Amino acid sequence: MSGYPPEMQESIRLVEATRPRRLKETFPTMTLEEREAILKAYHPDYKEETFRAIRVGVSKGQKMPLELADIVEGRPHIGPDFDLSDPIAETDVLVIGGGGAGASAALLAQENGAKVILVTKLRFGDANTMMAQGGIQAADRPNDSPAIHYLDVIGGGHFTNVPELVEALVMDAPFVIKWLEDLGVMFDKEPDGTMVEVHGGGTSRRRMHSARDYTGAEIMRVLRDEVRNREPDITVVEFSPAIELVLDDKGQIAGAVVMNLETGAKGYVKAKAVVLATGGGGRLHYQGFPTTNHYGATADGVVLAYRVGAPLGYLESMQYHPTGAAFPEQILGLLVTEKVRGLGAQVVNKYGEQFVYPLEPRDVESAAIIRECARGNGVVTPTGQVGVWLDSPMIDILHGPGTIQRALPAMVRQFARFGIDITKEPILVYPTLHYQNGGVRLRADGSTIIPGLYIAGEVSAGVHGHNRLMGNSLLEILVFGRRSGRSAALWAQQVRPGKPTLAHLERWNRELEETGVDTGVVSPILLPDYTRKQGYK
Amino acid sequence: MAEEQENLIPVFIMGKQYMVPAGLTIMKAMEYAGYKLVRGVGCRGGFCGACATAYRIQGDPKLYFGLACQTVVQPNMYLAQLPFFPARRATYDIARLEPTPTTLFSLYPELLRCLGCGTCTKACPQQIDVRAYMAAGMRGDIARMADLSFDCIMCGLCAARCPAEEGQYNIAILARRLYGRYLAPRSRHLEERLEEIRSGKFDAEIQALKNMSVEELKARYKARDIEPGD
């Protein structure tokens, strides 16, 4: 019995009817001009009323989503008088964040001689890294090259990416794959060792490496295992998010104040260098969108770095993944990996007709789906959610029976839990909030303008310009996690620490007062609040 | 979310009754009931293993397991979160191991204590046949253990239920890492590319791209040839 209600099954029959014809059809790709036009008309980034300029700090005047602006302008959890005289721990490098960027930074910092403490808000590994399904890009096939990868990245990012960061990304990429292999990551390979590689949206070569559709999970659990093998050089402290960075009287980084989420206790962790790897902010649900992000994705790092004076960038653009689950309601907004399209599934409307090339860059693909639904060609679910079909059964027809089960076990399992067999029935999808393109300004060695403060991953800005391609975030967290970890360790070896102080909070509070800015928020907010206040009657 | 729904069902969170809308996942039902979760919540998408849950249904003698973010509530469910369960893990240097049965047995001697009872398999929310991969491990078949355990999210339910006190998921990740590093075929084209990058083969081209104007880049981007899908 199908998990789809009868009215949706009627549309599925149309999808099935057009499938034999569509198998031979390729929908044309858009020109750069067509891309620009559809983005302006339909992409959520162009809804002016959902953005505003921030009014305080070094990036004053910069536009970002309303929800983010409110927390960036928020009040700190602690006052400038918080006692720093008795640190709860001391280390060379403090890594904030327990996803792939933080884990790889910790490993490289340790390899470069540093003692490391890694603090993380939830459990070590509870991060978007774990949820990344489709793959990781690296130009390692003979018909590909880092230069071709470079061009794909910068074109996908609308030519606004920082060139030095793109260079680092594409040139380190094959080394990252090798590093992961040596750590024991099980990439999908042919019997002769050739990597199985597919396309992602906006790629001109097949360079998406995968580990079934658990690519991020496989990478994360291996990195986590490796970090744990390096205790006590690396100490991992879970359920302890940073709530404020600490500088010294020379303006260098001096550690962070962390909070035990379970007891509420706050304490100062003294450090010579800090790697901020806190990820993005999907749980702020910009414009009311559902999100693919994990529970802790509340843009903490942007808040922390900004308060100590690190400039922000690119936050006027957010990535909406084209294919979030639109049915069933229980998994609304969860990721349906781009690999489904990479393997050949087309995107079709309620009549079973294609309306967009399935592998446009993500922002363009999302805008096209939003337009198709706005034109009334979407499927409406019993709860009123609209979506279009991702024709997954095509994959087994194109590549042979069993391909879906073998290449997409997580997706098959996810939908089977709700009575939907994606090997036989298409998947209903709609764009979902996925990735923070912008964040804190990054330099190629992982540094920021704050001496001793390094960053890596989604918290950072500039690698992807205004739009990231699939498979470049798993790559980014490892490229810049490794770079920032190494740089932090080297910095820690030679820095002459001054006296720790929270003077930046005095300045921050004064600026809020003078400008009259009061958003009523204490930030970082740490977790979203989904509770309903009167739960039982 | 519809506020005053007619279709409320009773569930028991750690023994206490709450009325929650039918159709919610266990996790959303707990939040509906007023819990702001810190433990027992992570990715909310079935990948991280933070929300392992044990439950019974009133009048049913069976014990059930699932992920709170992926399991829909049923009337009269008795729910208990298992956000953490201790299991021993060995410490090792992956670069100094050999991919042999002896490595598995010396780092995890308890592997050989497995009773083959299959309680682990019944508890696995990923429907992994844990018993089968443990059996492969006991035979020293690292490749099979790696393959069968691949979808493991390390939630710990197998370890919580095991009468032989195994930490199955920790043994399994050792097998997978041994497989990935030593037993999987090496990728020749990757090694060749690393050599090319080290020798500076792409440096000039990348420098040229970095120095290009946006107009030049656009022209180059438009002129790219796209490799066919298969």
Per-residue pLDDT 10s for chain A (537 aa) are 689 999 999 999 999 999 999 999 999 999 999 999 999 999 999 999 999 999 999 999 999 999 999 999 999 999 999 999 999 999 999 999 999 999 999 999 999 999 999 999 999 999 999 999 889 999 999 999 999 999 999 999 999 999 999 999 999 999 999 999 999 999 999 999 999 999 998 999 999 999 999 999 999 999 999 999 999 999 999 999 999 999 999 999 999 999 999 999 999 999 999 999 999 999 999 999 999 999 999 999 999 999 999 999 999 999 999 999 999 988 999 999 999 999 999 999 999 999 999 999 999 999 999 999 999 999 999 989 999 999 999 999 999 999 999 999 999 999 998 999 999 999 999 999 999 999 999 999 999 999 999 999 999 999 999 999 999 999 999 999 999 999 999 999 999 999 999 999 999 999 999 999 999 999 999 999 999 865 433
Asked whether residue B224 is domain-assigned, the answer is no
Instruction: From chain A, pick out residues whose CB is under 8 angstroms from the CB of B226.
Output: 29, 204
Nearest to B217 among A154, A228, A262 (CB): A154
pLDDT in tens, A342-362: 999 999 999 999 999 999 999
Nearest to B31 among A413, A531, A536 (CB): A531
Q: Is A292 on the interface with B (CB under 8 A)?
A: yes
Asked whether residue B88 is domain-assigned, the answer is no
Would the CB atoms of B217 and A212 count as touching at under 8 Å? Answer: no
Asked whether residue B228 is domain-assigned, the answer is no
Quick check: B94 and B180 in contact, CB under 8 A?
A: no
* Closest residue in chain A to residue B214, using alpha carbons only: A159
pLDDT in tens, B172-186: 999 999 999 999 999
User: Tokens representing A376?
Assistant: 């009334």
**What DSSP element (H or E) covers B53?**
strand B52-57
Ranges in chain A annotated CATH 3.90.700.10: 6-46+321-433
> B128 vs chain A: nearest CA distance in angstroms?
11
Instruction: From chain B, pick out residues whose CB is under 8 angstroms from the CB of A127.
Output: 43, 48
Ranges in chain A annotated CATH 3.50.50.60: 92-102+114-317+437-498
> B6 vs chain A: nearest CA distance in angstroms?
12
CB-based burial label for A88 (10 Å; 0-12, 13-18, 19+)? middle
Q: Looking at the structure, do residues B166 and B111 belong to the same domain, yes or no?
A: yes
- Decide the pairing of beta strands A234-237 and A386-390: unpaired
Q: A92-102+114-317+437-498: which CATH number, 3.30.70.20, 3.30.70.250, 3.50.50.60, 3.40.50.360?
A: 3.50.50.60
3-state SS assignment for residue A406: helix
**Which of A158, A199, A283, A321 is the catalytic position?**
A321
Cβ-based neighbour number of residue A471 at 10 Å: 30
CA of A158: how far to CAs of A138, A165, A438, A490, in Å? 20, 15, 14, 35
Cβ-based neighbour number of residue A490 at 10 Å: 16
Nearest to A131 among B47, B184, B190 (CB): B47
Q: Is A108 on the interface with B (CB under 8 A)?
A: no
Q: Is A141 on the interface with B (CB under 8 A)?
A: yes
Would the CB atoms of B94 and A229 count as touching at under 8 Å? Answer: yes
Asked whether residue B161 is domain-assigned, the answer is yes
Asked whether residue B86 is domain-assigned, the answer is no
Quick check: A186 and A490 in contact, CB under 8 A?
A: no
Q: What is the pLDDT of residue A532?
A: 82
Annotated active-site residue A341? The verdict is: yes
3-state DSSP of A60-114: CCCEEEHHHHHHHCCECCCCCCCCCCCCCEEEEEEEECCCHHHHHHHHHHHHCCC
Cβ-based neighbour number of residue A136 at 10 Å: 30
Instruction: From chain B, pick out residues whose CB is under 8 angstroms from the CB of A155.
Output: 217-218, 221, 224
Q: What is the pLDDT of residue B1?
A: 45
Q: Looking at the structure, do residues B32 and B60 belong to the same domain, yes or no?
A: yes
Would the CB atoms of A529 and B36 count as touching at under 8 Å? Answer: yes
Would the CB atoms of B19 and A130 count as touching at under 8 Å? Answer: no
Q: What is the pLDDT of residue A428?
A: 98
If one counts the domains in chain B, the total is 3
H helices present in A112-197, as ranges: 128-131, 146-156, 163-183
Closest alpha carbon to A269 in A453, A106, A452, A89: A89
pTM given for the model: 0.96
Mean pLDDT for chain B overall: 95
Q: Looking at the structure, do residues B69 and B132 belong to the same domain, yes or no?
A: no
- The torsion angles phi and psi of A379, rounded to 5 degrees, stand at -95, 135
Look at residue B230 and tell me whether its pLDDT is greater than 90: no
Q: What is the pLDDT of residue A2?
A: 83
Q: Looking at the structure, do residues B98 and B178 belong to the same domain, yes or no?
A: yes
Q: What is the pLDDT of residue B136?
A: 98
Task: Measure the CA–CA gap between A32 and A197, rounded to whole angstroms.
Answer: 26
The CATH number assigned to the domain holding B45 equals: 3.10.20.30
Closest alpha carbon to A181 in A141, A202, A209: A209
Q: What is the pLDDT of residue A1?
A: 66
Indicate the angle between helix axes A32-42 and A362-374, nearest 10 degrees. 60
User: B32, B50, B81 — which closes off a domain?
Assistant: B81
pLDDT in tens, B94-143: 999 999 999 999 999 999 999 999 999 999 999 999 999 999 999 999 99
User: Locate tokens 């020379």: which residue?
Assistant: A250
Q: What is the pLDDT of residue B6?
A: 65
CA of A388: how far to CAs of A22, A328, A384, B81, in Å? 16, 13, 13, 36
Instruction: From chain A, pick out residues whose CB is under 8 angstroms from the CB of B218.
Output: 32, 155, 159
The residues that bridge with A427 in the sheet, in sequence order, are A390
Task: Measure the CA–CA gap between A60 and A302, rounded to whole angstroms.
Answer: 14
Asked whether residue B227 is domain-assigned, the answer is no
User: What is the DSSP secondary structure assignment for residue B224, as one 8-state letter?
Assistant: P
Quick check: A485 and A477 in contact, CB under 8 A?
A: no
Q: Looking at the structure, do residues B102 and B163 belong to the same domain, yes or no?
A: yes
**Which of A294, A341, A464, A466 is the catalytic position?**
A341
Task: Measure the CA–CA gap between A30 and A36, rounded to whole angstroms.
Answer: 10
Instruction: From chain A, pick out residues whose CB is under 8 angstroms from the CB of B150.
Output: 186, 211-212, 214, 218
Annotated active-site residue A123? The verdict is: no
Domain enclosing residue B51, as ranges:
8-81
Asked whether residue B106 is domain-assigned, the answer is yes
The CATH number assigned to the domain holding B105 equals: 1.10.1060.10
User: Locate tokens 């693909």: which residue?
Assistant: A365
User: B60, B81, B102 — which closes off a domain?
Assistant: B81
* Closest residue in chain A to residue B44, using alpha carbons only: A294
Nearest to A531 among B34, B193, B210 (CB): B34
Task: Measure the CA–CA gap between A101 and A169, rounded to whole angstroms.
Answer: 14
Asked casually if ipTM beats, i.e. exceeds, 0.90, the reply is yes
Q: Classify domain A6-46+321-433 at the CATH topology level.
A: Flavocytochrome C3; Chain A, domain 1 (3.90.700)
